[in-house]
Amino acid sequence: MELTILNMVLALLILALVLLSGIWIAIGLAGLGLALFHFFLPAGMMRMVETIQYNVVDDFILAAIPLFIFMGSLLLKGDIASKIYRGLTPLVSRLPGGLVQTNILSCAVFGACSGSSLAGAATMGTLAVRELTERGYDRKLVYGSLAAGGTLATMIPPSILFIIYGSFAGQSISTLFIAGLVPALIMVLLFMGYVALVALKNPASCPRVEPASLGQILTAMKTLAAPVLLITAVLGSIYSGFATPTESAAVGSVGALLILLAERHLQWRVVREAAVMSVRTTCMIALMMIGAQLISTALSMLQIPFQISQMILSLEMAPWVIALVVALFFILLGCLIEGTSMFFLTFPIIYPLMMDLGFDPIWFGVMMALFIEMSLITPPVGLNLFIIHQVSGEASMARTIRGALPFFFAMLLMMLLFIAYPRLVLMLPNAF
């Protein structure tokens, strides 16, 4: 036991030094994994490194990652995001909060098309910040709604995180996509509810928008038809059992190309830029997966996750207390490390621990998505905060942080709700 704890402490010290050195997370993960094999395991075990690198990416389901990224990149480069924003505006014009509600809904819809939180925040922020501030909307509310709305893509299917998590955890990607629907809907409603309360309490913060006419609503529905049809085709093919997630990703990519063709935005430059973005992002993810798998294999052979779970079980704590401690750990870590990197760093230890303690793997996948969403709007390294701050052009980030804080508390409320009632997450997968 003492030797195992010593190994774990040394591994964590090495990891801290790697992170502080400023090198790429993927290289740091791989370096730590190789160090664990070399210093703490028998010499013959090093031969396993040859097969780990291949086996971790030799999974058909992972082909969905570049395809979904390509689909989202096409819509981003093809100016479809602006059509989503303009199409949603007349539909929510009568709601308290007006165009701020459009921020949240457009981020949700674009997230369902792209699967990228950062792209959603950047795209919708570019479209909305200037227009809403010129109309007299409260800047904090505008910035906060865009930063928080951008996080929705992490939870809303087709989530790239769910694909990675499912591959690592050996869980069904389709089941994870289904499990993410209810939490994503609850989060959208919480965000919109907060905006409505602010608008009702302080009408000056959200100037009323002229209610849309029937003609404007019909035009908006026509504008939204293509993105909604694409989302329906992608998710409907998965939920109906007609296609696997990888096949549905191919359907989505072809559908995005057809949308650009119909909108007369299909150009070689757009396709090339989307393909390059897809390849770069996929390579980054693949390198992180290899590094994380090296660490995971080494830690498993050292029995560190098993020993940690045995120590925690010996404390005889209630499951909800353990869940709260793990949640607090991720919230604090999310303030210091980018969300995806946080997942790869913690998965080799936290996932086996949670499974040994009896937690449901699908529930934990949804909670992991929520933790990453929270990390995107928590300073000092909340990436969505940086993006919206950059778009806003303000000298200080303080207003952006204050605007995002209430939405963080809404996520915190949802986290406590799912810890207390995990069946909220699992009821839809169980029904299917």
Distances (CA, A) of 74 to 149, 256, 312, 314: 21, 6, 47, 52
Report whether 87 contacts 224 (CB < 8 A): yes
Which candidate, 212, 208, 190, 191, places its Cα nearest to that of 199? 208
Who contacts 66 (Cβ-Cβ below 8 Å, separation ≥6)? 278, 279, 281, 282
Query: To 5 degrees, how large is the angle CA 84–CA 90–CA 93?
Result: 120
pLDDT at 6: 63
342 burial via Cβ count (<10 Å: 0-12, 13-18, 19+)? buried
More confident of the two residues 417 and 342: 417
291-308 in b/e form (b: 16+ CB < 10 A) is bbbbbbbbbeebebbebb
Q: What is the pLDDT of residue 19?
A: 61
What pLDDT sits at residue 179? 93
| Inter-residue contact 146 to 138 (CB < 8 Å) | no
Q: How confident is the model at residue 112 (pLDDT cuts 50, 70, 90)?
A: confident
Q: Give the CA distances from residue 107 to residues 84, 126, 192, in Å, rounded to whole numbers and listed in that order.
A: 9, 12, 12
Note whether residue 12 is domain-resident: no
Higher confidence at residue 264 or residue 199?
A: 199
Segments forming the whole domain that contains residue 174: 23-431
Residue 17 is assigned to a structural domain of this protein: no
Higher-confidence residue of 195 and 287: namely 195
Whether 154 contacts 372, CB under 8 Å: yes
The mean pLDDT of the chain is 84
Query: Is residue 187 scored above 90 in pLDDT?
Result: yes
User: What pLDDT score does 15 carry?
Assistant: 63
Contact 223, 263 (CB under 8 A): no
Question: Is residue 297 within 8 Å of residue 48, measured between CB atoms?
Answer: yes
The confidence band for 140, taking pLDDT boundaries of 50, 70 and 90, is very high
pLDDT at 1: 47
Question: Domain for residue 69, yes or no?
Answer: yes
* Choice among 14-28, 182-196, 314-328 with the minimum mean pLDDT: 14-28
In whole angstroms, what is the distance from residue 226 CA to residue 260 CA? Answer: 10
DSSP letters spanning 28-51:
HHHHHHHHHHHHHS-GGGGGHHHH
Number of domains in the chain: 1
394 located within any domain: yes
Average pLDDT rounded to a whole number, residues 259-279: 87
pLDDT value of position 20? 62
Please give the pLDDT value at position 18. Answer: 64
CA distances from 38 to 129, 304, 405 (A): 52, 16, 44
pLDDT at 205: 85
- Of 319, 316, 325, nearest in space to 355 by CA: 319
Residue 409 domain-assigned? yes
**pLDDT over 70 at 390, yes or no:** yes
Q: Alpha helix (H) ranges present in 135-201?
A: 139-150, 160-169, 173-201
Token output for 103: 């921020």
The CA distance from 163 to 13, in Å, is: 30
Examine residue 4 and state whether it is found in any structural domain, yes or no. Answer: no
Tokens (6 digits) for 167: 């591959």
Q: Exposed, middle or buried, 50 (CB in 10 Å: 0-12/13-18/19+)?
A: exposed
**Rounded Cα–Cα distance for residues 130 and 138 (Å):** 12
pLDDT-above-70 percentage for the chain: 95
For residue 252, being part of any structural domain is answered with yes
Asked if residue 212 lies in contact with residue 93, where contact means CB atoms within 8 angstroms, the answer is yes
CA-derived radius of gyration, the chain: 22
Report residue 142's pLDDT band, with 50, 70 and 90 as the boundaries. Answer: very high
pLDDT per position as a tens digit, 308-321: 777 777 777 888 88
The per-residue b/e assignment along 145-183, b for 16 or more CB within 10 angstroms, e otherwise, is bbbbbbbbbbbbbbbbbbbbbbbbbebbbbbbbbbbbbb
**What stretch of H or E contains 88?**
helix 80-88
> Residue 7 domain-assigned?
no
pLDDT greater than 60 at residue 156? yes
